[in-house]
Amino acid sequence: MNDLTPNDAAALFKLEKFDRIACLTLDNPPVNATSNAVRAGLKSYAEMLDQDASVDAVVLLCAGRTFIAGGDVKEFDLPPQEPALPDVVMRIETAAKPWIAAIHGAALGGGLEIAMGCRFRVATETAKLGLPEVNLGLIPGASGTVRTPRLAGMDMAIQLAVSGKPITAQAALEAGLIDGIIGADLQTEALAFARKVLAEPLPLATLQRPNPRQTDVYWHEAAAKAPNEGHAAHQSALACLRFGSEHEPEAALAHERETFLTLRSSFEARALRHVFLAERAAPKPRALRDTTPRALQHCGVIGGGTMGAGIAAACLLSGLQVTLIERGPEAAQAGLNNVQTILNGALKRGKLTPEAYEQRMAALSCGADYAALQPCDLVIEAVFEDLAVKQGVFRKLTEVCGPETVLATNTSYLDPSLIVAGLPHPERFIGLHFFSPAHVMKLLEIVPTGQTSRDVLATGFALGKRLGKIPIQAGICEGFIGNRILKRYRAEAETLVRQGVPIADIDAAMRAFGFRMGPFEAQDLGGLDIAYLQREAARNSGATVERALGDILVEAGRKGQKTQGGWYDYDAGDRTPKPSEAVAELLNAQITAGPALTAEAIAERLVGAMAAEGQAILDEGIAQTASDIDLVKVHGYGFPRWKGGPMFYAANAEVS
Ligand code: NAI
């Protein structure tokens, strides 16, 4: 953006003067991000106000819902543009007049760094302050690792820059990161603060303050505590904090910037940006931009088992009223207990206040009479995975619910259009495929039938957004997007076993790649019998389904951890997988020795299989975009974020 004019920058700011205090208000919606124009504007205002003899101090505040809450996503992948943020922060810090940052909403990343260049910082009580760069595979790139410890001490600097989690204004005040908490009338309160501090001697500028050296033991302990995900940002942030305390500010700033720029172009940071941008786009698909969703206040859930209870809890937690229907009074009571257990967990973890807990429980009613569903705007079915049972449920639903009620199935594998075939008002049926545990997992596959109307589809997305999910549209095929790719992944893992790759090596390779568990450990945890029964059902209905290695294990009674043996052996009460002689014997006849594979080669094979299936899914129109497939895998199946998802990985990773 080299063609930036002074007017571009000026249009983003409003300058007012109150006696001898200048008040500079930035208005760059939605989050006052530090775009090129914002940086240029701040720099030129600092220069101009330095020359203005009628001004003694500058209050910097922001219009809208927040202070500067980070960088401009539109500039994420562009080469760095002048003026660079570190120079802007330095220009503010070295201004002839003291600057005072008045923070509301959030001061994040570059926003907090700008505030730290000011001589004073005040914030409203509800404001949050943070350095979240590690979440994008970066470190603070404009002095965060150099200025934060000088204001708030090294412990707090580590907390902010290494964890990436924001802190409250109160915590910031206690640490010395801000100088005061002000009321909500930002401008008036900030001006009052300015007048008060101008009457006193000025404190040292941030970089003039000490940043004491810490011991080797201190850094060793901090490194051990820092998250050790598969990307370098957390440890790099720590290393920069250390460098900053052992070198002069100038060298420290240069070192931080260099590290920032190196990380910025790393594969992991690009992958994390890809996932971040895809997540932001997911809840508002282009095709539904002009479609108004139906209103949602009251949600019905059929079935109070694993999924139904989780879905009911997710709805309650988002403020919806919920009616849960089970097969009889006892099952309804059990369903209620299941939901209560989940809400109780939220209460214990402090996610719900006791009052909110009472309110949410009061918004839940459970019973066995379908007539109670009559007032619902949306009903989600989560009964047994059985076509006839589900068809029976939907027949009853169409009898009690009006045509405006959206009727959804949570089926994992059945064809939603078969479940509702022949029922009236076909436009209101849809698949809403949640993941277990449904109140925790972010993924929601939204599966329209051929006849689902646009407003019903939009309602699915609106529900997803309301529940804090990542809603992804999927077409109809066996397993939709996620489970279909999972099946291919598992099949490829079995192929490797047939080629003589040890089971434990495959799991270890996928853990090294970034999954919490490898494919066989995960099957042992979930149970091998579910997929086995599906294959059996398909065979019984006449389909040709190849015999899987998993079939041999299930038929030998090895269903996973629950039977103390699946792909691995387990000691009673111990979840540690141990390579199994019995499995080796059972599978021996299926295995032909092949070449040894490195962990990297194993991961490439398995991720390659996922990407190939993803490509088929795209070609068939089952998924709308490759990013959607990546989000499904990241949010539903533990694919490491910093690898970007299978499609991004296949297209961008430099495979050795
Ligand atoms: P579950 O067996 O834990 O719960 C099913 C519940 O439905 C039982 O409580 C049962 O009493 C009730 N039910 C059965 N027929 C009913 C009827 N006619 N009226 C009212 N209630 C009835 O099963 P789960 O695991 O919750 O699965 C439910 C659905 O969710 C299935 O379609 C499954 O494929 C799907 N699903 C399951 C996932 C999982 O990880 N368990 C993940 C995503 C989807």
Q: Which of 301, 306, 407 to mutate to test the pocket of ligand 1 (most atoms within 8 A of CB)?
A: 306
Instruction: Kindly give the number of the ligand 1 atom that is closest to the alpha carbon of 385.
Output: 32
- Distance of CA 378 from the midpoint of ligand 1 (Å): 18
Q: Got the DSSP string for 1-59?
A: -TT--HHHHHTTEEEEEETTEEEEEE--TTTT---HHHHHHHHHHHHHHHH-TT-SEEE
Give the residue whose CA is nearest to atom 17 of ligand 1. 327
Q: Are 470 and 279 in contact (CB under 8 A)?
A: yes
Q: Which residue's C-alpha comes closest to atom 40 of ligand 1?
A: 436
> What pLDDT is attached to residue 74?
78
- Residue 639 carries which side chain, given as an amino acid letter? F
* Residues in contact with 436: Cβ distance below 8 Å, sequence separation at least 6, in sequence order: 306, 307, 310
Closest residue to atom 39 of ligand 1, CA basis: 436
Task: Tell how far the Cα of 557 is from the centroid of ligand 1, in angstroms.
Answer: 24
What is the 435 CA–ligand 1 centroid distance (Å)? 12
The pLDDT score that the predictor gives to residue 551 is: 97
pLDDT of residue 656: 42
Closest CA to 281 of 447, 443, 472: 472
pLDDT for the residue numbered 284:
87
Residue 131: both structure tokens together: 């350095």
pLDDT for res 7:
65
pLDDT at 370: 97
The per-residue pLDDT of the chain, averaged, comes to 95
Q: Which atom of ligand 1 is nearest to the CA of 309?
A: 26
**pLDDT for position 78:** 85
Res 623 pLDDT > 80: yes
Q: Which atom of ligand 1 is nearest to the CA of 393?
A: 18
pLDDT in tens, 365-378: 999 999 999 999 99
Q: What is the pLDDT of residue 230?
A: 85
∠ Cα 162 164 170 (to 5°): 105
The 10s digit of each residue's pLDDT in 531-563 is 999 899 889 989 999 999 999 999 999 999 999
Distance 293 CA to ligand 1 centre (A): 27
> What's the rounded Cα separation, in Å, for the pair 549 and 497?
9
ipTM: 0.98
Gap from CA of 305 to ligand 1 centroid (Å): 5
Distance 304 CA to ligand 1 centre (A): 7
Q: What's the 383 CA to ligand 1 centre distance in angstroms?
A: 3
CA 636 to the chain's CA centroid: 11
- Smallest CA separation from ligand 1 atom 29, residue: 382
Per-residue pLDDT, 485: 98
What is the whole-number distance in angstroms between the Cα of residue 478 and the centre of ligand 1? 18
Q: What is the pTM of this model?
A: 0.93
Using DSSP, state whether 568 is helix, strand or coil.
strand
| Residue range 604-624: mean pLDDT, rounded | 98
Q: Which residues have CB under 6 Å of ligand 1?
A: 302-308, 325-327, 331, 382-385, 389, 393, 410-412, 434-436
pLDDT (mean) for 517-527: 96
Give me the pLDDT at residue 6, please.
55
Cα of 333 vs centre of ligand 1, distance in Å, is: 15
Report how far ligand 1's centroid is from the alpha carbon of 302 (Å). Answer: 8
How far is the centre of ligand 1, averaged over its atoms, from the C-alpha of 307 (Å)?
6
What pLDDT sits at residue 459?
98
Return the best residue to mutate from 337, 373, 383 for the ligand 1 pocket (most ligand atoms within 8 A of CB). Answer: 383
The tens digit of pLDDT for each residue in 99-128 reads: 999 999 999 999 999 999 999 999 999 999
Q: Whose CA is nearest to atom 9 of ligand 1?
A: 305
Going from the Cα of 434 to the center of ligand 1, the distance in angstroms, rounded, reads 12
Find the 245 Cα to ligand 1 centroid distance in Å.
Answer: 57
- Which atom of ligand 1 lies closest to the CA of 334? 9
The residue contributing the CA closest to ligand 1 atom 14 is 383
Q: What is the pLDDT of residues 472-498, one digit of tens each?
A: 999 999 999 999 999 999 999 999 999
Q: Is the pLDDT of residue 655 over 60?
A: no
- Atom 20 (ligand 1) nearest CA: 326
Instruction: Give the CA dihedral 416, 417, 420, 426, nearest 10 degrees.
Output: 120
Protein residue with its CA nearest to atom 25 in ligand 1: 306
Give the residue, by CA position, lying nearest to ligand 1 atom 31: 385
- Ligand 1 pocket test, pick from 307, 323, 530, 637 with the greatest ligand atom count within 8 Å of Cβ, gives 307
Region for 606 from its dihedrals, namely left if φ exceeds 0, alpha if ψ lies in -120 to 50, beta otherwise: alpha
Arithmetic mean of pLDDT, 350-364 = 96
Which amino acid appears at position 568 of this protein?
A: Y
Tell me the best of 301, 381, 384 to mutate to test the pocket of ligand 1, counting ligand atoms within 8 Å of each CB and taking the most: 384
pLDDT at residue 1 is higher than 50: no
Ligand 1 site-directed mutation target among 412, 418, 632, most atoms within 8 Å of CB: 412
Q: How far is the CA of 575 from the centre of ligand 1 (A)?
A: 26
- Ligand 1 atom 42: the closest Cα is on which residue? 435
Distance from the alpha carbon of residue 410 to the mean position of ligand 1, in angstroms:
8
Distance from residue 234's CA to the centre of ligand 1 (Å): 41
| Secondary structure (3-state) at 248 | coil
What's residue 2's pLDDT?
44
Kindly provide the b/e burial profile for residues 13-29, where b requires at least 16 CB atoms within 10 angstroms of the residue's own CB. Answer: beeeeeeebbbbbbebe
What separation in Å is there between the alpha carbon of 306 and the centre of ligand 1? 7
Residue nearest to atom 43 of ligand 1 (CA): 435
DSSP H or E run through 430? strand 429-434
Residue 2 CA: distances (Å) to CA of 6, 204, 406: 11, 35, 51
- Contact between 435 and 481 (Cβ < 8 Å): no
Closest ligand 1 atom to residue 308 Cα is 26
382-422 pLDDT, tens digit per residue, is 999 999 999 999 999 999 999 999 999 999 999 999 999 99
pLDDT tens digits, 157-199: 999 999 999 999 999 999 999 999 999 999 999 999 999 999 9
Residues 6+ apart with CB under 8 A from 181: 122, 123, 124, 125, 169, 170, 173
Protein residue whose Cα sits closest to atom 44 of ligand 1? 412
Domains of the chain, first to last:
8-265 (3.90.226.10), 286-473 (3.40.50.720), 482-621 (1.10.1040.50)
Residue 654: predicted pLDDT: 74
Confidence of residue 231 (pLDDT cuts 50, 70, 90): confident
Q: Which of 3-17, 37-51, 254-268, 523-537 is the least confident region? A: 3-17
| Integer Cα distance of 382 and 387 in angstroms | 12
Query: Which atom number of ligand 1 is nearest to the Cα of residue 304?
Result: 9
Residue 378 parent element (H or E): strand 378-381
Q: In 3-state terms, what secondary structure has residue 480?
A: coil
E strand segments, 127-208: 128-130, 167-168, 180-182
Q: How many CB atoms lie within 10 A of CB 475?
A: 15
Q: Which of 67-71, 325-329, 593-597 has the lowest mean pLDDT?
A: 593-597
- Please tell me the distance between residue 343's alpha carbon and the centre of ligand 1 in angstroms: 19
Q: Using the predicted structure, report yes or no on whether residue 202 has a pLDDT greater than 60.
A: yes
